Amino acid sequence: MAIRKVGVVGCGLMGSGIAQVSAQAGFPTVVREVSANALENGMGSIRRFLEDGIRKDKLTQAGMDATLANLSGTVELGQLADCDIVLEAATEHLGLKRELLGALDRLCKPETIFASNTSSLSITQMSAFTKRPERVIGLHFFNPVPLMKLVEVVKTIRTDPVVLQAADAWCTAIGKTAVHCGDSTGFVVNRLLVPYMLDAIRVFEQGLATRDDIDDAMKLGCGHPMGPLLLTDHVGLDTTCYISEIMFDEFKESRFSAPPLLKRMVMAGLTGRKSGRGFYDWSTHPPS
Ligand code: CAA
Identified catalytic residue from 16, 70, 117, 119: 119
Please tell me the residue having the least CA distance from ligand 1 atom 28.
225
Q: What was the pLDDT predicted at 87?
A: 98
pLDDT of residue 239: 95
Q: Do domains 6-182 and 190-275 have the same CATH topology?
A: no
pLDDT of 288 above 80: no
User: Which atom of ligand 1 approaches the CA of 119 most closely?
Assistant: 53
User: Taking residues 1-15, what's their average pLDDT?
Assistant: 95
- Rounded to the nearest angstrom, the distance between the alpha carbon of 143 and the centre of ligand 1 is 8
At 284, is the pLDDT very low, low, confident or very high (cuts 50, 70, 90)?
confident
Supply the CATH classification number for the domain 190-275: 1.10.1040.10
Residue 60 Cα, ligand 1 centroid: separation in angstroms?
19
CATH class of 6-182: alpha beta
Indicate the pTM of the whole model: 0.95
More confident: 30 or 120 = 30
Residue 7 has pLDDT above 70, yes or no: yes
pLDDT-wise least confident of 168-172, 182-186, 284-288: 284-288
The yes-or-no answer on residue 190 being catalytic is: yes
Distance from the alpha carbon of residue 216 to the mean position of ligand 1, in angstroms: 18
Map out the domains of the chain as residue ranges: 6-182, 190-275
111 is catalytic: no
Q: What is the mean pLDDT of residues 240-258?
A: 97
What's the 3-state SS for the chain?
CCCCCEEEECCCHHHHHHHHHHHHCCCCEEEECCCHHHHHHHHHHHHHHHHHHHHCCCCCHHHHHHHHHCEEEECCHHHHCCCCEEEECCCCCHHHHHHHHHHHHHHCCCCCEEEECCCCCCHHHHHCCCCCHHHEEEEECCCCCCCCCEEEEEECCCCCHHHHHHHHHHHHHCCCEEEEEECCCCCCHHHHHHHHHHHHHHHHHCCCCCHHHHHHHHHHHHCCCCCHHHHHHHHCHHHHHHHHHHHHHHHCCHHHCCCHHHHHHHHCCCCEHHHCECCCECCCCCCC
Q: For the segment 28-80, what is each residue's pLDDT rounded down to a tens digit?
A: 999 999 999 999 999 999 999 999 999 999 999 999 999 999 999 999 999 99
Q: What is the mean pLDDT of residues 133-145?
A: 97
